Amino acid sequence: MIDNPTPRYYKIYRLLKQAIENREYVHDEAMPGENALAEKYGVSRLTIRRSLELLQREGLVERRQGSGTFPVAGSVRLQPLSADINKLVAHLNTMGANTHVRLLEFGYEQPRQDVQNQLALPAGSRVQKAIRVRCYEDVPFSYLLTYVPEDIGRRYTRDALERQPLQAVFKSLGLRLGSAEQSFSATVADAHHAEALGVAIASPLLCIKRVTRDTRNRPIEYLVAVYNPDRFEYRMALSNRRSKGVDTWVMDESR
């Protein structure tokens, strides 16, 4: 149940908007009905209706009489700016070695279209999907959702993923990591995040998405990680450099 002062309909609106932007609902398929959404979020149909009205006003959904509510084509998040991630990857790997993990889900499935695109997989492919919660001193701070091409995922076990960070598992398989693309954004906690991290639904979270490639440039992992900002922050050192009369801030690799 949602229990902070922001109106419930607005919190549900934010969660639904986030789901549309993340392509959890696609434009040519109806979203779940009002009753289903009300049951999912533990609110009334009237609350859901007000949330959908907000989405409709923003042009994010189209409500068709007798057919349901459909996301509007093109109403997805714009391509984010990219940044250097070398130090962050090293930091997260170190953090993984000093924390422990609870594995909530481990299985194989056909991925959503956005996951298929990120991993450059042909139609009909399957992925190994895992959900983990990482803890420090028994307090959860991150919720990690990973997708790996099935042919790689079949080479390690549930037990291996409970004992080691995924990149350590890759190393044990002889896979050589070549490059990665990573983005930061803000998000809000859905019901799964809230339960796993011990926060209220619609609480603000830090979201990190990463595609990791091997030395042959093949995508081998798509990670969607959310962090509780009360328990996790990322800091970087910057240096000012002047070039052609313009001041520029760059990451300081010496620290």
Residues of the chain with CATH 1.10.10.10: 8-71
7: confidence class by pLDDT, cuts 50, 70, 90:
confident
Structure tokens of 166?
Answer: 């995924």
Confidence at residue 81, expressed as pLDDT on a 0 to 100 scale: 39
Average pLDDT over residues 199-215: 91
- Which contacts (CB < 8 Å, 24+ apart) does range 91-99 have? 91/234, 93/165, 93/167, 93/168, 95/134, 96/134, 96/165, 96/167, 96/168, 97/165, 98/136, 99/134, 99/135, 99/136
Mean local confidence (pLDDT), 186-203? 90
Q: What is the pLDDT of residues 142-163, one digit of tens each?
A: 999 999 999 999 999 999 999 8
Enumerate the CATH 3.40.1410.10 domain ranges in the chain, comma separated: 86-227
Fold of 8-71: Arc Repressor Mutant, subunit A (1.10.10)
**What pLDDT score was predicted for residue 193?**
94
Most confident of 9-23, 90-104, 124-138: 124-138
Average pLDDT over every residue of 232-249: 74
CATH of 86-227, one of 3.10.129.10, 3.40.50.880, 3.40.1410.10, 1.10.3720.10: 3.40.1410.10
Alpha-carbon span 162 to 160, nearest angstrom: 5
Confidence at residue 83, expressed as pLDDT on a 0 to 100 scale:
42
Quick check: 20 and 61 in contact, CB under 8 A?
yes
